[in-house]
Amino acid sequence: MKGLVTVGAVLILWAAMLIAGPVEVYLSGGPSAAALNEINSIKDRINAIITLLNDNIALLPEITGEVEALDSIGSGIAYQAGERFWLSDRFALGGKLEGFRTSTATAGIYTSSETSEVSIDLDCYAVGFLLSGRYDFLNAGVILSADLGAGYYYSGFNRAITFQIPPEYPDAISGLPPEGEGRYSGSTLGFEGGLSLSFPITDWLEVGSSLFYRSLALGGMRDRQGNSLDLDGDGTPEKVDLGGITVQFTFSLIIDLNPEKGKE
């Protein structure tokens, strides 16, 4: 599947280059959000346990310490770099590389007869190569466009969890996340669509902003040993849903390869 997508993308780009007018090279970056619902559900569960421990330990003279709750995972910075070939005045086809990363972490210790450490570090990223198209709806000084893209994403998820309960703590608690470290990865097809506003500054320079929705979900990330990502240890692999909204601020360079056919 990956090979077919890559070959298809290369063929389309090659064909676009042959018949294209101007080529636009762009870089963009901006805030991005990913749903990561199942991961955040486990985050809420971990926070419930941390809150219970903090509250009860505050009442136990033989144990001291507090651990901060985990923030939600999902918000981060996305970046894109790509080029598009204008096949007509309104329509362009191209390819782009996209990256996104988000993480959350907390750490703290409980001190009693022993030092008990709680340290949780979750990190998620995705890199994708997309075939993308743009259609200009409106050109009134400011250009309003619709964007669509599809391609293959490689995603990774890293976890490092230490969750030690002080030996003096009177109760056992269910639902503790399994301790240890793991690096999981997977790849799948993803899609994105959005709207863009572009502001031509000169004939060869544009700035703009875009609002995209990315659809990207991985159901079975695995580590090198073939173990599935199972953050809560319930035996069911977690789905890593990186779908979400991205806002991008873009700088574009427009190079007119064939002035006679160039984009107006």
Partner 1 sequence: MRSARFYFLLGLILLVVVAITGCLGVKSGEPQALFTASPVEHMIPFTANFDGTLSYDPNGMIVSYLWNFGDGAAGEGPQATHVYKEDGEYTVLLTVIDNQGISGSSSLMVQALNPPPTATFSYRPKSKMEDKYIVGTLEWITFDASESADDGEVIAYNWNFGDGETASGKVVEYRYLYAGTYNVVLTVTDNDGGKTKYVEAISILGGPPCNGDICPGGGGSCQ
Residues that bind partner 1 (CB under 8 A): 33, 35, 37-38, 41, 44-45, 48-49, 52, 137-138, 144, 146, 170-175, 193-195, 211, 213, 215, 234, 241, 243-245
Shortest approach of partner 1 to residue 241 CB, angstroms?
7
> CB-based contacts of 171: which residues, under 8 Å, 6+ apart?
56
Nearer to partner 1, 179 or 253 (CB): 179
Q: Rounded to an integer, what distance in angstroms lies between the CA atom of residue 234 and that of residue 43?
A: 14
Nearer to partner 1, 23 or 198 (CB): 198
Shortest approach of partner 1 to residue 257 CB, angstroms?
27
Amino acid at 40: N
Question: Nearest-CA neighbor of 143 among 86, 184, 105, 96?
Answer: 86
Nearer to partner 1, 23 or 49 (CB): 49
Q: Rounded to an integer, what distance in angstroms lies between the CA atom of residue 52 and that of residue 60?
A: 13
Shortest approach of partner 1 to residue 232 CB, angstroms?
8
Amino acid at 112: S
Nearer to partner 1, 111 or 236 (CB): 236
Q: Rounded to an integer, what distance in angstroms lies between the CA atom of residue 46 and that of residue 49?
A: 5
Shortest approach of partner 1 to residue 4 CB, angstroms?
25
Q: Which helix (H) or strand (E) holds 256?
A: strand 244-256
